[in-house]
Structure 1
Amino acid sequence: AVYNGTFEQDDDAGFERYKKGVAMGCWGLGLYSASTAVYAFCLERWLAERFSLNSLYFVGYVVYAVGCLVNYFIHNVVVNIIMCFTFGMLVVSLNTLPYHMLSKFHTDETYRNKDGTKRGIGVDCSLLNSCYFLGELIVAASLGPLLERTGYEKIIFDNSK
């Protein structure tokens, strides 16, 4: 959407724009990876102690949604690269905070089954993992046929601007 390139090699100018877009996308992935590491470090060191885990989880999704909206409406390379930071925040929120919440839940002594026993944290972590991957599987299985029917740009990105 930013470079308006094409991967068809018969259009030399379009293919060059495509290659520039791929190169810039690599910088975006680099920033995404760095932001994931930095946000995870900050979350573990300071944020989880100062704010509730539920609030941090919610803020992670809100920041990601804002980043997606900004990327959708503003077709500027610098802005799009900077917004890659928000994707890193989502990944940390999605893959760290639920397990942190689960561990806090298991340290609470009021959590007991009717017979007085406790279910292990390993079982709950595996259930959480299964739900996460089931969600990924459902999205992947449903988007494949949808993309095949309608075309890539019409579903994932609206490049009609």
Structure 2
Amino acid sequence: MRSIPEEPKKVGTVPIIPDVPAPLPVPPVGEEGADVNPKATLSEYLYSILYMPHSMRMVCMTNLCCWMAHVCYSLYFTDFVGEAVFGGDPKAPEGSEGRALYESGVRFGCWGMSMYSLSCACYSLVIEKLIERYKARKVYICGLLFYSCGMMLMALTKHRVGVILFSWTAGVMYSTLFTMPYLLIAHYHASGTFAVTAEGEAIQEQGVRGLGTDVAIVSSMVFLAQFLLSCFLGTVVSISGTTTAVVCVASTLAACGAGFATQIMYLDL
């Protein structure tokens, strides 16, 4: 039979039927090499959660501060607009001027929330290009500082224009929350590197780490953020006597998140 000549492969193309090497013989149980990848025990699994590498710990701390900062905005923003910007009073009697001003402020705050959603969609389209051009470190830190400055300016101005304008910074924060932490975790697992020496050489991870576990740990920061905010934010508002404190707390927490982001290991991202 005549052999069919192989077509030259083009760069960047994937063959329809890839060349699969012949399977290697599997040694029976008990022989040398049979237990190359042992399964992790329950104690090793729990150990990997409690004693995570410094790189993972910094990602979790950054994500925790970011979620706390964002929850301040998403839950209490319209209340801030109704009271601090419009001068309304939610406790005023029905039909009074204070109650009407508060309800008008809440309705106007919804426009700010819509700007936040729009900015999140727009920023999500360009964040990948920004990472390619400016690297992940600058994009992560600058995104958090951008939100922090926006919330502080909103608290200082207490103006309707500021409500619309500075709400765009919240969209940047929300898009960053669902992009950067998971990008970093995937990069750690893809490279198998969770720590480096002072010379920049990779340190092999001794424990067993799972990608799904690390993603779940970082994602759980949103629940911890909600719990912590429910413990102290009401007290902060009561002591300060104004809902402006909520926006100030959001700005402070975002700045703390930017500080933790400076300690994250970015490798070559």
Distance change (3 Å), C-alpha of 1:110 and 1:20:
closer
Asked whether 1:12 is paired with 2:107, we answer no
- The reply to whether residue 125 of structure 1 matches residue 215 of structure 2 is yes
Number of the residue aligned with 1:114: 206
1:13 Cα offset (Å):
2.1
1:114 is paired with a residue of what secondary structure?
coil
Query: Bigger shift: 24-33 or 106-115?
Result: 106-115
- The answer to whether the 8 A contact 1:57-1:94 is kept is no
- Residue 111 of structure 2 corresponds to residue 27 of structure 1: yes
AA at the equivalent of 1:40: S
8 Å Cα contact 1:35-1:88 kept in structure 2:
yes
Q: Structure 1 residues 128 and 157 mapped into 2: Cα distance closer, same or farther (>3 Å)?
A: closer
1:16-74 Cα deviation digits (max 9, x unpaired): 22222111101011111111111112113x11221221211101111011101110111
Residue 93 of structure 1: how far off its partner (Å): 1.4
Query: 2 CA distance for matches of 1:33 and 1:130?
Result: 23
When Rg is computed on C-alpha atoms for both structures, the one with the higher figure is 2
Q: Report the AA paired with residue 167 of structure 2.
A: C
Larger helix proportion of the pair: 1
TM-score (norm 1): 0.81
> Alpha carbons of 1:77 and 1:148: their partners in 2 closer, same or farther (altered >3 Å)?
closer
Structure 2's unaligned 5+ residue stretches are 1-83, 195-203, 249-269
Tell me the distance in 2 between the aligned counterparts of 1:12 and 1:109: 63
Deviation at 1:150, TM superposition (A): 3.1
What CA distance in whole angstroms lies between the structure 2 residues aligned with 1:109 and 1:157?
39
In structure 2, relative to structure 1, the CA distance for the partners of 1:72 and 1:135 (3 Å cut) is same
Tell me the residue number matched to 1:150: 239
Shift of residue 2, structure 1, vs aligned partner: 1.7
Distance 2:144 2:193 in 1: 30
The one of the two structures with greater contact order (alpha-carbon pairs below 8 A, sep at least 6) is 2
Give the residue type in structure 1 aligned to 2:242. E
- The count of aligned residue pairs is 154
Provide Cα deviations, 1:69-112, integer angstroms capped at 9, x if missing partner: 11011122112211000011111112321111111111114554
Quick check: 1:94 aligned with 2:180? no
The change in CA–CA distance for 1:88 and 1:49 in structure 2 (over 3 A counts) is same
TM-score by length of 2: 0.51
Unaligned runs of 5+ in 1: none
Q: Is the 8 A contact 2:237 2:246 kept in 1?
A: no
Residue 78 (structure 1) aligned to one of 152, 161, 169: 161
What's the RMSD between the two structures over aligned residues? 2.5
